[in-house]
Amino acid sequence: GDSVTQMEGPVTLSEEAFLTINCTYTATGYPSLFWYVQYPGEGLQLLLKATKADDKGSNKGFEATYRKETTSFHLEKGSVQVSDSAVYFCALIPFSGGYNKLIFGAGTRLAVHP
Amino acid sequence: DTGVSQNPRHKITKRGQNVTFRCDPISEHNRLYWYRQTLGQGPEFLTYFQNEAQLEKSRLLSDRFSAERPKGSFSTLEIQRTEQGDSAMYLCAAGGTAQQETQYFGPGTRLLVL
């Protein structure tokens, strides 16, 4: 079945460091891909998304490119801030039609220190 | 603010008791989803509604779980005869009917079964 695999955390970085969180997926056809973020004490928020191969999603300095050939959607940011500390979830919606069920990875916790 | 509210935010109950959670999405979201998130894991799909019709249920949703969405507005999720394994965060999400459309999450209800 469809699934998402993320790199394990926690990821600990100093402020202004470069961030990469790896995400790979298994799915038939062309799923839509998402990154959600969960800040401490808050609900899941959509960070960015991409709906077809080679699309790049971007928001708040974060980027991810939909790579069909490597079935990947890695999250990157050039310079992290303390306020980016959160749990990041990669997710997909299968292209099988129907009801748009989200399938999530296990999440990666990011801690950014001053 | 995602426009999705959930109540209560926290619930502590004793094993064997019944609990009910409520989700209120903004009116233009005619699809509503319930997910469950256990510690250290990503959310897992439980069920979804299109307007008032419950159209899909996960195998995770045992007979002790029931969900409703009367009049296609708010939704309730009831767990009867709670078990310690039901302890989790219960998330509600809302979205439209377009293929692979973004879902917007509420803050969740954290359940602890003693």
Q: What share of chain A is helix, strand, coil (3-state, %, to 5)?
A: 5, 50, 45
Flag whether pLDDT at B44 surpasses 80.
yes
A46: chain B residues, CB-CB within 8 Å: 102-104
What distance lies between CA B40 and its chain's CA centroid?
19
Q: What is the pLDDT of residue B30?
A: 84
Model confidence at A98, in pLDDT bands (50, 70, 90)? low
Higher pLDDT, B8 or B26: B8
Flag whether pLDDT at B10 surpasses 80.
yes
Q: Is B99 on the interface with A (CB under 8 A)?
A: yes
Q: What is the pLDDT of residue A101?
A: 85
| Closest residue to A43, CB basis, from B33, B95, B105 | B105
Instruction: Measure the CA–CA gap between A62 and B74, rounded to whole angstroms.
Output: 33
Q: What is the pLDDT of residue A99?
A: 65
What is the token pair recorded at B106?
A: 């509420």
For residue A10, whether the previous peptide bond is cis, meaning omega lies within 30 degrees of 0, is yes
DSSP 8-state symbol, A82: G
Q: What is the pLDDT of chain B when averaged over all its residues?
A: 91
Of all residues in chain A, the percent with pLDDT exceeding 90 is 79
Instruction: Measure the CA–CA gap between A95 and B93, rounded to whole angstroms.
Output: 19
- Contact call for B99 and A104, based on CB within 8 A: no
- Contact call for B100 and A31, based on CB within 8 A: yes
- Contact call for A102 and B108, based on CB within 8 A: no
Rounded average pLDDT over A98-106: 84
Q: What is the pLDDT of residue B89?
A: 96
| CA distance to B15, B32, B42, B66, B83, per residue, from B19 (Å) | 10, 20, 23, 11, 11
- Contact call for B31 and A95, based on CB within 8 A: no
A93: chain B residues, CB-CB within 8 Å: 100
CA–CA min distance B87, chain A (Å):
17
| Closest residue to B40, CB basis, from A34, A49, A106 | A106
What is chain B's alpha carbon radius of gyration, rounded to the nearest angstrom?
13
Q: What is the pLDDT of chain A when averaged over all its residues?
A: 93
Instruction: Measure the CA–CA gap between B42 and B49, rounded to whole angstroms.
Output: 21
- Contact call for A89 and B102, based on CB within 8 A: no
> Residues A63, A12: contact at Cβ < 8 Å?
no
Higher pLDDT, B101 or B37: B37
Q: What is the pLDDT of residue B7?
A: 96
Q: What is the pLDDT of residue B71?
A: 83
Angle at A27 between CA A25 and CA A29, to 5 degrees: 130
- Inter-chain Cβ pairs, chain A and chain B, closer than 8 A: 64
pLDDT in tens, B56-108: 889 888 899 999 998 888 999 999 999 999 999 999 999 876 766 788 999 99
3-state secondary structure at position B72:
helix
CA–CA min distance A18, chain B (Å):
24
Model confidence at B3, in pLDDT bands (50, 70, 90)? confident
Flag whether pLDDT at A108 surpasses 90.
yes
Q: What is the pLDDT of residue B40?
A: 86
> Residues B78, B66: contact at Cβ < 8 Å?
yes
pLDDT in tens, A11-67: 999 999 999 999 999 998 889 999 999 998 888 999 999 999 999 999 999 999 999
Q: What is the pLDDT of residue B65?
A: 96
- Contact call for A99 and B48, based on CB within 8 A: yes
Q: Is B33 on the interface with A (CB under 8 A)?
A: yes
